[in-house]
């Protein structure tokens, strides 16, 4: 599966030639927004991005181009920089670290995307029309994108988990927005002159930091103003919800556990992860809050039982249909109080016919809705008006 959820997905990407005939994608729209008479004194980006929570991203503005830096584009990856040049402006003289940076004319009119998390960003910015390629349609839950797939305006370039590099190169998208990994595949595409740019929102340690990557997508569309306004509204809703729980004393916060067992071990969210922060902001006390990990970590099942057996709530586990099904997977789940009391909650309220979870797509952009769900679970009296978006209680049978 090419599309990224919470962690790096193990996917084998193989390049192949002799690709079969594929649906044609409409050519890019006319570039009426390109510079016709370049003025070196003019600032072509009057609306600029400011970053408040995102730590893995920065942008530096020049008169006619922007320098975007993704500090950690992939696990153990070196920083990458991209030069976004106003369409029609002359190419700047780039030296030093920027000498070999890809130069992308903006606003882009076409893009391929490797992740379902990019789709809501395009919807929020009103530019779904620039999407011309996706890795696999079965992981998409965004209706406007699915409509374009059905209309053959968007093609798949990595069906069956295999990147068809020849197809990508033949369609010449302005960019391929990826989510890390697979250097060999992307090197081939880059060598053909197509910019592969990394969207590494999943490296952020806070939900608002991840959501702020809406501004990253906006940089390629010259929609900084729209992204600022959209993100600020999400941030303000998040903070307003957080205010309802921030004064709850520690003794009154329910204890919360996460994860699932696998082969005698237990996969849980780290104590410095965005999930742990969401739990805290929702008025919960995470059982692994003292752990420094910012991603998913693995602990011994016995350690999890010792740490979390008295937890009041259990969230973000497996794809369980019932409590009965849970104990068929692992009989020791019965030792957790949250299981005994039926307080197991999963984010499976919205799942596509192909089994794709909307939470992993739209949830990145809308942490305010996730926070509302969690407050409704932990402190229902504090969110009486909120209706669940993604979370659903696991039934007994």
**Domain-embedded: residue 263:** yes
**Domain-embedded: residue 36:** no
Q: Report the CATH number at residue 95.
A: 3.40.50.1980
Question: What pLDDT score does 11 carry?
Answer: 32
Question: What pLDDT score does 115 carry?
Answer: 95
User: How would you classify the pairing of strands 313-315 and 255-258?
Assistant: parallel
Identify the burial level of 241 via C-beta atoms within 10 angstroms of its C-beta, where 0-12 means exposed, 13-18 middle and 19 or more buried: buried
Indicate whether 354 and 253 sit together in one domain.
yes
User: For the segment 257-304, what is each residue's pLDDT rounded down to a tens digit?
Assistant: 999 999 999 999 999 999 999 999 999 999 999 999 999 999 999 999
Asked if pLDDT for residue 136 goes beyond 50, the answer is yes
**Domain-embedded: residue 38:** no
Indicate whether 182 and 313 sit together in one domain.
no
Distance CA 77, CA 16 (A): 25
Indicate whether 313 and 335 sit together in one domain.
yes
Distance CA 296, CA 268 (A): 6
Indicate whether 287 and 363 sit together in one domain.
yes
Pick the last residue of a domain from 215, 236, 257: 236
**Domain-embedded: residue 16:** no
Indicate whether 181 and 272 sit together in one domain.
no
Could you tell me the residue range of the domain that residue 99 belongs to? Answer: 57-236
**Domain-embedded: residue 338:** yes
Give the total number of structural domains in the chain: 2
Output the six-digit token pair for 5: 């959820």
pLDDT band at 4 (very low <50, low <70, confident <90, very high): very low
Indicate whether 280 and 386 sit together in one domain.
yes
Pick the last residue of a domain from 206, 236, 266: 236
Question: What pLDDT score does 10 carry?
Answer: 31
Output the six-digit token pair for 244: 């309802």
**Domain-embedded: residue 358:** yes
Indicate whether 87 and 172 sit together in one domain.
yes
Indicate whether 211 and 329 sit together in one domain.
no
Nearest residue to 68 (alpha-carbon basis) of 218, 202, 174, 274 = 218
* H or E stretch covering 392: strand 392-393
Indicate whether 224 and 300 sit together in one domain.
no
Indicate whether 174 and 198 sit together in one domain.
yes
User: CA distances (Å), 234 to each of 11, 117, 330, 388, in order?
Assistant: 33, 16, 38, 17
Q: 198 pairs with which residues across the strands?
A: 178
Distance CA 93, CA 80 (A): 18
User: For the segment 178-218, what is each residue's pLDDT rounded down to a tens digit?
Assistant: 997 667 889 999 999 999 999 999 999 999 999 999 999 99
User: For the segment 97-123, what is each residue's pLDDT rounded down to a tens digit?
Assistant: 999 999 999 999 999 999 999 999 999
**Domain-embedded: residue 115:** yes
Residue given tokens 């000498």 in the structure block: 99
Pick the last residue of a domain from 236, 260, 287: 236
Round the average pLDDT of the chain to a whole number and report it.
Answer: 91
Indicate whether 86 and 219 sit together in one domain.
yes
**Domain-embedded: residue 65:** yes
Question: What pLDDT score does 12 carry?
Answer: 33
Asked if pLDDT for residue 18 goes beyond 50, the answer is no
0.85 exceeded by pTM = yes
Indicate whether 188 and 297 sit together in one domain.
no
Q: The sheet that has 344-346: what strands, in order across it?
A: 285-286, 255-258, 313-315, 344-346, 392-393
> How confident is the model over 387-393, as a mean pLDDT?
98
> How confident is the model over 361-385, as a mean pLDDT?
97
């Amino acid at each position: 599966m090419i599309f990224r959820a919470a962690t790096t997905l193990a996917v084998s990407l193989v390049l192949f030639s002799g690709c079969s005939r594929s649906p044609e994608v409409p050519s890019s729209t006319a570039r009426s927004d390109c510079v016709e008479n370049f003025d070196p004194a003019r600032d072509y980006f009057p609306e600029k991005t400011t970053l408040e929570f995102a730590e893995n991203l920065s942008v530096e503005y020049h008169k006619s181009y922007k320098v975007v830096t993704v500090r950690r584009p992939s696990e153990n990856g070196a920083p990458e920089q991209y030069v976004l040049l106003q369409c029609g402006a002359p190419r700047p003289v780039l030296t030093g670290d920027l000498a070999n940076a890809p130069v992308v004319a903006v606003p882009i009119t076409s893009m391929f995307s490797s992740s379902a998390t990019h789709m809501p960003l395009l919807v929020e910015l009103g530019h779904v029309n620039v999407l011309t390629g996706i890795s696999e349609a079965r992981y998409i839950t965004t209706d406007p994108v699915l409509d374009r797939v059905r209309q053959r305006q968007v093609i798949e370039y990595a069906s069956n988990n295999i990147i068809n590099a020849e197809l990508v190169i033949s369609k010449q998208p302005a960019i391929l927005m990826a989510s890390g990994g697979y250097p060999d595949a992307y090197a081939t595409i880059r060598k053909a002159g197509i910019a592969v740019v990394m969207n590494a929102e999943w490296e952020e340690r806070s939900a608002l930091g991840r959501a702020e990557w809406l501004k990253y997508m906006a940089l390629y569309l010259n929609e900084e103003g729209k992204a600022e306004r959209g993100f600020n509204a999400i941030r303000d809703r998040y903070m307003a919800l957080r205010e309802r729980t921030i004064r709850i004393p520690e003794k009154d916060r329910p204890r919360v556990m996460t994860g699932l067992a696998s082969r005698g071990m237990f996969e849980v969210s780290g104590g410095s992860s965005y999930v742990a922060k969401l739990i805290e902001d929702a008025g919960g006390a995470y059982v692994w809050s003292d752990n420094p990990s910012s991603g998913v970590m693995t602990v011994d099942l016995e350690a999890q039982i010792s740490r979390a057996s008295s937890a009041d709530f259990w969230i973000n586990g497996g794809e369980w249909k019932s409590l009965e099904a849970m104990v068929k997977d692992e009989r020791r789940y019965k030792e957790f109080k949250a299981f005994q009391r039926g307080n197991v909650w999963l984010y499976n309220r919205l799942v596509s016919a192909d089994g794709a979870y909307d939470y992993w797509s739209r949830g990145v952009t809308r942490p305010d809705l996730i926070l509302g769900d969690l407050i409704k679970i932990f402190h229902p009296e504090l969110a009486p008006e909120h209706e669940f978006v993604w979370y659903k209680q696991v039934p007994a049978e």
